Structure 1
Amino acid sequence: MKKLFGTIVAIILIAGVAYAHGGMEHIMGTVVSMTDNSITVKTMAGKTQTVSTTADTKYTQMDKPVAMKDLKEGDRVVIEVAKKDGKLIAVEVKVGMAGMKGMHGDMSRMSMDQDGGAIFAPKNCFGTSLPVGTSPLVA
């Protein structure tokens, strides 16, 4: 009986996580280059990834709309992508706050380089509430 209950709980938790992400992948990294219909980022793992953009792609910074033209090389981004015909299509591009150069690591759990200043904020650099137990430090 305990195994059955544990299995049901595990299925519900996994389904909840999948639903929360809406079946989308997230690519985090630094913008390397852009064209009118793509963004290339260097991921946290050091790989280069190109994502196609469309007229429907949303761009935000701190939960406020921005334009693709506001994006520049070196910006830190989290790109929500969907797969279509074997290609990664950007659904939403979340741009990090200006001055994030001193940051490295998981963007929701950033650590500071020696030259990176910090302030306390209730949200992370993308305007998203921080997970419980993480540091609210942003540049």
Structure 2
Amino acid sequence: MKRLIAFIVVILFAGLAYAHEGMQHVMGTVTAVTADSITVKAINGTTQTVVLNTQTKYSKGTSAIAQKDIKVGDHVAVHASKKGEQLIAAEIKVGTMQGTGDMKGMHGEMNGMDMSGAKSK
């Protein structure tokens, strides 16, 4: 089942992967939020901490939200750039996950996904 989901994700997003050169994407559930970072447990089970700054944009559906509106347990798609060993969030989209990996409430483009750390069983 995990292979099927991974295959579907790769097929859906493979053509879009080049749209944001240099950007990485993390999708999953928020496990921690601080004033300057967000930690996300990704769909593949890994945990990633992403740095927030004054240029980070936040949205839920088609509406802009504030950083304070992001809570532990929220499902997010994070678009980030890598600087050294850190991921710096450019945009965080909040949505709801339903079924096998669909993210409802994520309006707009998903411009790729970094699956270099993904493992298959």
Scaled by the length of structure 2, what TM-score is found?
Answer: 0.70
Structure of larger gyration radius? 1
- Name which of 91, 102, 105 aligns with 1:125: 105
1:74 partner letter: G
> Which letter maps to 1:47?
T
Q: Which residue in the other structure is 1:28 paired with?
A: 27
Count of aligned positions: 97
2:55 counterpart of 1:56 = yes
1:80-138: per-residue Cα shift (whole Å, max 9, x none)? 01011221000000011xxx36x253335xxxxxxxxxxxxxxx4211379xxxxxxxx
Q: d(CA) in 1 for partners of 2:20 and 2:101?
A: 17
Give, as a single letter, the amino acid of the residue that structure 1 aligns with 2:105. Answer: C
* Runs of 4+ residues deviating >4 angstroms: 14-17
Unpaired runs of at least 5, structure 1:
1-13, 109-123, 131-139
Mapped contact 2:36–2:52 kept (Cα < 8 A): yes
Change beyond 3 A, Cα 1:75–1:15 = closer
Q: Which residue of 2 aligns with 1:89?
A: 88
Structure having the larger proportion of residues in strand: 2
User: Is there any run of 5+ residues in structure 2 with no aligned partner, and where?
Assistant: 1-13, 111-121
Range that drifts further, 54-63 or 31-40? 54-63
How far apart in 1 are the matches of 2:74 and 2:16? 31
**Alignment partner, residue 73 of structure 1:** 72
1:40/1:21 CA distance change after superposition, 3 Å: same
Higher share in helix: 1
Q: Trace 1:41-52 onto structure 2 (pairs within 5 A).
A: 41-52=40-51
| Structure-1 residue corresponding to 2:102 | 107
Q: Structure 1 32/104 Cα, relative in aligned 2: closer, same or farther at 3 Å?
A: farther
Pick 1 or 2: higher relative contact order, CA cutoff 8 A, min separation 6.
2
